[in-house]
Structure 1
Amino acid sequence: MQANPSFRLVYVPGVTPGKWVRVWEERLPDVPLTLVAVPVAEGAATLLADAADAGLVRLPVDRDRLSAIPLYTEATVVVFPKDHWLAAADEVPLADLAEEVVFHPLDDTLGWAELPGRPAIERPATTADAIELVAAGVGVLLVPQSLARFHHRRDLTFRTVSDAPQSQVALAWQLDRTTDLIEEFIGIVRGRTVNSSRGRGQTPPAAEQPKKAAAGGGRPRAGSGKPAAAGRSGGGKSGGGRPAAGRSGSGKAGAPRRGRPRRSS
């Protein structure tokens, strides 16, 4: 590993790496993590150009050159103006968009086999450009839900489209460059604990031994000859852990008290 390691993580719009970055900073405070935000179409290209060590990108990617672990799948929504007739529905099927102009930006991430609705005269260059056209009342746009939130405008809203293709977000890196730091980040996004992680943030087994000893509650080792600390009561000798006779709360309930009987008057 290099003398002064660092880790560069590229991510695309709609992906929020903050929770994983916080875990990284807790586990590897000596390894700075640099975030690199890029347009959705440049996620994989950034990795192949060695401009980042790993990336949170949208599938598909070139599996001959990149390793990828799918993390989650997003719901697809349709974005439209708040006063549009679609706002009356809780969920919109694709069939309801048959007469709508549906924008298909060049950076689309849904991979349509067949586009719904009526095509626009030109394809917008980006999702951001398509959002501007939707706000102008020209048509509607289908995107992953996180992108609808990323491009939020007060004059627009969205509804879920359950029968539309969906977008997958994945952790990707170059196929032949699975480093210790990448293994560490894989463990973080998969929710591994520090002790189960395969990366350099793993706690050495020797460091766990004192904790295990402390968890024994002071129990002596077999054959040590030392009495257990729990067997002593109030600082005096207890006769091997048995309660002393005559003390309050000791012995069997209801046992008679010994001594001379009191004379009746």
Structure 2
Amino acid sequence: MAKGGGSRRAPRQGKSVKRTDASSPRRANTPARATRPKPAAPEPTAPEPSTFVLGAIPGATPGKWIDTWRERMPRVELELRPLAVAAQREELLSGELDAALVRLPLVADGLHVIPLYDEQPVVVVSKDSHLTAVDELNLADLEGEVVIAPLDDVLGVTVPGAVAPAFDPPETTGDAIATVGSGVGVVIVPMSLARLHQRRDAASIPLRDGPVSQVALAWPADRTTPHVDAFVGIVRGRTANSSRA
């Protein structure tokens, strides 16, 4: 019996003694498993900026369509180019334009043409003319008047009983209206051209029985690009989310 009256307890049989980490055996030649990094997802690339070239005849007013284009297609610049009516078909087929606002009639071979709107004709007269006494005119009212047709005339109106000018035709509609403003003759044009060349010394009077001028959108038939489709949708009033009709 040990000193102090106590007895030493023998360890219980069958109970294992927990080994420390230092005494634990390590598997030899077992390399640590490497964690492979996940490849980073490629960042989406923005489309390259590009340009849509739109021709426009004098008097065309594409402003609202251009505003809509810039809202929907911010990365595609719309370049507006002046287009003479006499050269509109040639310019469209040259490849320099993606599309154009044109004035009909137009030979449509090789082109897609969508009529957009009609323009009423007006008679531009001097502000002091006796013709300003009425709100509207008929062709018969122009009998005896000097009717000026510029070289870029787009209506080709024949006025029964009109007087031919004693001078060469002005080169442009703007020149013809300036001549009218000086007190010589009258000129018949679509309303948009009268507004384009508006002057303080001239007035415009609607012509009830004159020829209507039609404005259309045209583009080469073999170049119907996604940009052309987008512009067609805009002029037809489709929303950004609507399908092609």
Identify the residue that residue 229 of structure 2 maps to in structure 1: 183
Q: Is the 8 A contact 2:49 2:77 kept in 1?
A: no
Tell me the distance in 1 between the aligned counterparts of 2:52 and 2:93.
15
TM-score by length of 1: 0.70
8 Å CA contact 1:184–1:197 kept in 2: the answer is no
Return the match for 1:164 from 192, 203, 210: 210
1:163-242 equivalences under 5 Å are 163-198=209-244
Give the corresponding residue for 1:233: none
What is the CA distance between 1:91 and its match in structure 2?
Answer: 0.3
State the alpha-carbon separation in 2 of the partners of residues 18 and 193 from structure 1: 17
Shift of 1:198: 3.1
How does 1:51-130 map onto structure 2 within 5 Å? 51-112=96-157, 114-116=158-160, 117-121=162-166, 122-130=168-176
| 1:10 counterpart = 2:55 | yes
Match of 2:94 among 24, 28, 49: 49
Amino acid paired to 2:133: A
* Aligned residue in 2 for 1:205: none
* Equivalent of 2:72 in 27, 38, 53: 27
Identify the residue that residue 138 of structure 1 maps to in structure 2: 184
Q: CA deviation at 1:3?
A: 5.5
In the alignment, residue 147 of structure 2 is paired with which amino acid?
V
The structure 1 segments of at least 4 consecutive aligned residues displaced by more than 3 Å after TM superposition are: 2-5
Distance 1:171 1:152 in 2: 25
Deviates more, 1:72-81 or 1:128-137: 128-137
Deviation string for 1:6-59 (max 9, x for gaps)?
200010111111100110111111111111123332333221222210001111
Once the two structures are TM-superposed, the CA of residue 197 in structure 1 deviates from its matched residue by 4.2
Structure number with greater CO (CA < 8 Å, separation at least 6) is 2
Partner AA of 2:172 in structure 1? T
Q: Show CA shifts across 1:196-248 (max 9, x none).
A: 2439xxxxxxxxxxxxxxxxxxxxxxxxxxxxxxxxxxxxxxxxxxxxxxxxx
Query: RMSD of the TM alignment (CA)?
Result: 1.8
2:101 matches 1:38:
no
| Equivalent position of 2:195 in the other structure | 149
2:217 partner SS: strand
Cα distance in 2 for residues equivalent to 1:109 and 1:38: 13
Q: 1: distance between equivalents of 2:62 and 2:125?
A: 28
Residues 102 and 118 in structure 1, CA contact (< 8 A), matched pair in contact too? yes
- State the number of aligned residues: 197
Matched residue SS, 1:6: strand
Letter in 2 for 1:151: H
Contact 2:151 2:170 in 1 (8 A): yes
Could you tell me which runs of 5 or more consecutive residues in structure 2 were left unpaired when the two chains were aligned: 1-46
